Amino acid sequence: MGKAARRLIVVIYLLALVVVPVALVFWNALKDGLGPVIEALTDPVVVHALQLTLIASLVSVVLNAVFGVGVSVLLVRYEFPGKRALNALIDLPLSVSPVVVGLSLVIVYNVRDGWFGAPLASLGIQVLFSLPGIILATTFISMPLVVREVVPVLQEQGTDQEQAARSLGAGGWTTFRRVTLPGIRWGVIYGVVLCFARSIGEFGAVKIVSGNLTGKTQTATLAVEQLYQNFNQAQAFTIAAVLAGAAIIIISVVAALRVRVERRGA
């Protein structure tokens, strides 16, 4: 088979699977002009859903960046019993269906008999059907992304530079801040960007945990589904276009970063 033919197959495959459907989202959103789009984007329900997604995603990304880097350092730089188990556990959110994750959170955090839910409820903290639950589900789902990006970068960096910093008088924290972190920063940024992209698109786990209350605990993806099923197509496509647009921007950033990281590696 010729080179041109192989290329054509790949292009058709990508067009059919990705480009056309995504393009149609934008086309559908804009087919009646900007009027319905502006109308949708000023609807308090839509605005609330987008805000909720943004807040939940940002908090998740911060949590996962901090814990992701911490866990990565633990996995790469330290030896301890149970390390392999921890390593495998980190990948769990990638392999388990988000719906299952949502259900398991409901079991643990429900107010009636949840192991964590009941004690928290007596302290006046409600996790399910509110923002903490949404953040929890989003964070759980996107947890492995930072770790999986940072671990190989840390391994490649080695311990020489850290030891040199120690011998020059730097303590543990200073060494981390001035030597380790700058060395892995592109890996961290790359992981954070992927984590953010995954977070804004989360649907299954959040749907179960949030209760999907319109204007209260309904995130952008949940709103798209509900509006579409209620024949509110203009609004549904507008939110979908916003989410798709955000994803495209993020992917462009990732692509640009990848070039930088690879150039540095060379």
Residues forming the site for other proteins (CB under 8 A): 160-161, 163-171, 174, 178-179, 182-183, 185
Closer of 183 and 211 to other proteins (Cβ): 183
Contact criterion met (CB below 8 Å) for 211 and 129: yes
Q: Are 222 and 203 within 8 A, CB to CB?
A: yes
**Least distance to other proteins from the beta carbon of 150, Å?**
16
Nearer to other proteins, 106 or 153 (CB): 153
- Smallest distance from the beta carbon of 167 to other proteins, in angstroms? 4
Handedness of CA 138, 141, 145, 146 (dihedral sign): positive
Residue in the structure block whose two tokens are 């054509």: 8
Shortest Cβ 175–other proteins spacing (Å):
8
> Under a CB-based contact definition with an 8 Å cutoff, are residues 246 and 72 in contact?
no
**Minimum CB distance to other proteins, residue 166 (Å):** 4
* 6 versus 185: smaller Cβ distance to other proteins: 185
Nearer to other proteins, 170 or 189 (CB): 170
Q: What does the radius of gyration of the chain's CA atoms come to, in whole angstroms?
A: 22
Least spacing, CB of residue 21 vs other proteins, in Å: 41
DSSP secondary structure of 73-93: HHHHH---TTHHHHHHHHTHH
User: Which amino acid, residue 139?
Assistant: T
Nearer to other proteins, 97 or 159 (CB): 159
User: How big, in percent rounded to 5, are the helix, strand and coil portions of the chain?
Assistant: 80, 0, 20
Burial profile 102-112: b = 16 or more Cβ within 10 angstroms, e = fewer: beebbeebbee
Task: Give the burial string for 238-247 (b: 16+ CB within 10 Å, else e).
Answer: bbbbbbbebb
Minimum distance from residue 158 beta carbon to other proteins (Å):
8
The answer to whether 204 and 9 are in contact (CB under 8 A) is: no
Q: CB of 169: closest distance to other proteins in angstroms?
A: 5
